[in-house]
């Protein structure tokens, strides 16, 4: 066994033959080759078994769990595997620099994701009790409204980037409303988290933007509580401090918006590119449910995460896992483990896209509902939508944690929209629940028959345009 204070790789760091993501050392979970074809990386790693060494950023080593059963073993063994990043030996001793681009996605924060035991239970109860107050019918209605507003903006054009114009904006609009978050603060939270996911050089700066947004939202809701998730969480018996509130909010909005946009986008891509769905797009929710399940099995939005640390030197499937070294679970690789037969996958939801064990996503029903409504609505309003490029031309964002497109260009017969939009839904100033009683002065909800094109279309598009350009490296 290796010493916890001086973790040594307990395996030969020999690249598997033909691995496309190797550069003479450990398999790389980042960079253009891996982003273009992560399944090739996993296929090569499988030659080493269900657990393999990888590099997740320059000079940052980790153990990657790629087998389904081994993944469950790690996720369901909190007595052996801690979530607390303070156990990360290479960060503590400085061999991983504090400004490494993966650090903001892996560093300790006082939140549910990075805590164990009683501390975790306290944060998690505040989160789950708060999320339980969301009415699914109201959530569905609000997703539909937001989707209509966004579709109205692109409808007359006949072309769009379904990532920046739709999939990225929809969760943000919904979340601003859910959290009672003004648009400018929401932008900071979502933009900050999005850049952190990319794990590039500006991740530390993005982390500051995220923190700033969280501080502003907490201060606002302490002053002016409303009927929203932020205020409900503040009132929870766990009595979270401002610092704890800030970190649960950043977790919720970050964990919520970035994976959500990628679930929507990846499902749209599958529906638009796979012949099995051709001709069936406007045929109801069935193909949408199937597409969501398939994406959650084969291309989950969080591809590799669930960072754990062995509490003591241990082993998984015969491979030594030293204490102090990050252990990541590849949800993608575990879900596509050849040991799982096709029959075992079909028609069941035992995939690990939401993780498993004590840290399993507490919002999976809401997250799935948002994605399903978003996709259904788009296909309902734009039934003849099609890809505006070859699938091979699409690019994927780099970074070890997510499976995320840089853009999803589409074309469709333009649709006419006739009534100007009356509200700025991006404000999030409206309360989540209840809605004001309708009156002659109440702005009309945007629906598929009453929506606003020109004014809405002309409205300034803020960071998401900027972000799309940034992602494409222009
Ligand atoms: C498609 C959308 C989503 C996906 C794929 C997803 C997936 C996941 C996964 C895999 C984890 C475990 C991460 C880990 O252990 O490192 C997780 C945790 C979490 N998710 Fe989600 N999630 C989604 C949406 C949401 C939404 C909408 C929210 C909140 C509104 C949310 C809140 C959380 C929280 C708070 C945790 C941490 C739970 C804990 O550590 O106890 N997620 N999610």
| Contact assessment for residue 48 and residue 54, using Cβ atoms and an 8 Å cutoff | no
Tell me which residue of 370, 154, 160 sits closest to 257, measured CA to CA. 370
Cα distance between residue 300 and residue 303, in whole Å: 6
Is residue 328 in contact with ligand 1, taking CB distance under 6 Å? no
Enumerate the H helices of 155-280 as residue ranges: 169-178, 183-198, 203-223, 229-234, 242-273
Q: What is the rounded (10 degree) CA torsion for 33, 57, 6, 17?
A: 0
Distance (Å) from CA 223 to ligand 1 centroid = 28
Please compute the mean of the pLDDT values over residues 219-243 and round it to a whole number: 96
How, if at all, do strands 51-57 and 27-28 pair? parallel
Token pair 């010493």 is at which residue? 3
pLDDT (tens digit per residue) in 366-424: 999 999 999 999 999 999 999 999 999 999 999 999 999 999 999 999 998 865 544 44
How many CA atoms, within 13 angstroms, populate the side-chain half-sphere of residue 28?
A: 19
The percent of residues in the chain predicted with pLDDT above 70, rounded, is 80
305 lines ligand 1 (CB under 6 A): yes
In this prediction, residues 289-304 reach a mean pLDDT of 95
The pLDDT tens digits for 54-74 are 999 999 999 999 999 999 999
Does 27-427+441-471 carry CATH code 1.20.120.420? no
Task: Return the beta strands (E) in 296-443 as ranges.
Answer: 304-310, 314-316, 319-321, 326-330, 386-387, 409-411
3-state SS assignment for residue 460: coil
Cα–Cα dist 97/324, whole Å: 16
Position 440 pLDDT exceeds 90: no
Q: Which residues of 146-173 are buried (b: 16+ CB within 10 A; e: fewer)?
A: bbbbbbbbbbeeeebbbbbbbbbbbbbb
Residue 293 to residue 304: CA distance in whole angstroms = 18
Q: Which spans in 132-182 are helix H? A: 136-154, 169-178
- Asked if residue 38 has its Cβ within 6 Å of ligand 1, the reply is no
Task: Give the pLDDT band (50/70/90) at residue 117.
Answer: very high
Higher pLDDT, 439 or 151: 151
Asked if residues 4 and 322 have their Cβ atoms less than 8 Å apart, the reply is yes
How many residues appear in the chain?
Answer: 474
CB 410 near ligand 1, within 6 Å = no
Q: Is the CB of 199 under 6 A from ligand 1?
A: no
The radius of gyration of the chain from alpha carbons, rounded to an integer in Å, stands at 22
Q: Domain coordinates of the chain in residue numbers?
A: 27-427+441-471
Going by CA atoms, what residue is nearest to atom 6 of ligand 1? 354
Helices (H), ranges, 49-102: 68-75, 89-92
Tell me how far CA of residue 184 lies from CA of 90, 193, 203, 214, 415, in angstroms: 37, 14, 20, 12, 30
Q: Which atom of ligand 1 is nearest to the CA of 300?
A: 5
Q: Is 127 in the pocket of ligand 1 (CB under 6 A)?
A: yes
Per-residue pLDDT tens over the stretch 148-161: 999 999 999 999 99
Strand partners, 411: 159, 386
End-to-end CA distance of the chain: 48
Answer with the residue of higher pLDDT: 16 or 351: 351
3-class state of residue 268 by DSSP = helix
Alpha carbon of 302 to ligand 1 centroid (Å) = 9
Q: How far is the CA of 363 from the centre of ligand 1 (A)?
A: 6
Neighbours of 78 (CB within 10 A): 17
CA distance 108 to 114: 6
Q: Regarding predicted confidence, which is higher, 440 or 98?
A: 98
- Report the pLDDT value the prediction gives residue 443, as an integer from 0 to 100: 32
Shortest-distance atom of ligand 1 to CA 114: 40
Ligand 1 atom 43: residue of nearest CA: 361
pLDDT at 14 over 90: no
Q: What is the largest CA-CA distance in the chain?
A: 74
- Cβ of residue 259 lying under 6 Å from some atom of ligand 1: yes
pLDDT given at position 255: 82
Residue of 190, 363, 373, 403 to mutate, ligand 1, most atoms within 8 A of C-beta: 363
Please answer whether residues 432 and 143 qualify as being in contact, where contact means their C-beta atoms are separated by less than 8 angstroms.
no
């Amino acid at each position: 066994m290796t010493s916890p204070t001086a973790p040594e790789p307990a395996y030969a760091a020999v690249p598997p033959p033909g691995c496309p993501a190797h550069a003479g050392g450990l398999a790389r979970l980042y960079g253009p080759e891996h982003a273009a074809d992560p399944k090739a990386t996993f296929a090569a790693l499988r030659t080493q078994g269900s657990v393999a060494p990888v590099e997740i950023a320059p000079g940052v080593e980790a153990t990657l769990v790629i087998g389904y059963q081994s993944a469950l073993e790690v996720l369901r063994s909190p007595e052996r595997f801690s979530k607390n990043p303070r156990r990360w030996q290479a960060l503590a001793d400085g061999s991983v620099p504090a400004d490494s681009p993966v650090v903001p996605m892996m560093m300790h924060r006082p939140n549910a994701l990075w805590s164990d035991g009683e501390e975790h239970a306290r944060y998690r109860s505040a989160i789950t009790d708060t999320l339980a107050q969301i009415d699914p019918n109201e959530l569905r209605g609000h997703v539909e409204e937001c989707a209509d507003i966004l579709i109205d903006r692109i409808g007359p054009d006949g072309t769009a980037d379904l990532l920046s114009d739709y999939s990225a904006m929809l969760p943000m609009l919904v979340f601003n409303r859910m959290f009672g978050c003004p648009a400018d603060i929401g932008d900071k939270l979502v933009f900050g988290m999005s850049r952190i996911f990319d794990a590039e050089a500006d991740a530390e700066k993005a982390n500051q933007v995220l923190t700033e947004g969280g501080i502003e939202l907490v201060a606002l809701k302490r002053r002016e509580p409303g009927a929203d998730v932020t205020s409900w969480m503040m009132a929870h018996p766990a009595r979270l401090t401002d610092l704890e509130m800030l970190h649960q909010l950043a977790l919720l909005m970050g964990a919520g918006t970035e994976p959500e946009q990628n679930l929507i986008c990846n499902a749209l891509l599958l529906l638009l590119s796979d012949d099995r769905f051709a001709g069936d797009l406007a045929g109801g929710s069935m193909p949408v449910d199937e597409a969501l399940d398939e994406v959650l099995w084969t291309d989950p939005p969080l591809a590799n995460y669930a960072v754990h640390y062995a509490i003591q030197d241990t082993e998984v499937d015969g491979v030594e896992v030293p204490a102090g070294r990050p252990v990541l679970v590849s949800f993608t690789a575990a879900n596509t483990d050849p040991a799982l037969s096709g029959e075992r996958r079909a028609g069941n939801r035992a995939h690990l896209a939401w993780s498993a064990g004590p840290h399993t996503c507490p919002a999976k029903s809401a997250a799935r509902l948002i994605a399903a409504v978003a996709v259904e609505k788009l296909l309902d309003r734009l039934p003849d939508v099609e890809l505006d490029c070859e699938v091979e031309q699409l690019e994927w964002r780099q970074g070890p944690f997510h499976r995320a497109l840089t853009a999803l260009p589409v074309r469709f017969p333009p649709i006419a929209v006739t009534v100007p939009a009356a509200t700025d839904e991006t404000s999030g100033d409206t309360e989540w629940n209840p809605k004001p009683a309708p009156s002659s002065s109440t702005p009309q909800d945007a629906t598929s028959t009453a929506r606003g094109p020109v004014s809405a279309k002309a409205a300034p598009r803020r960071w998401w345009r900027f972000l799309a350009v940034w992602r494409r490296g222009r």
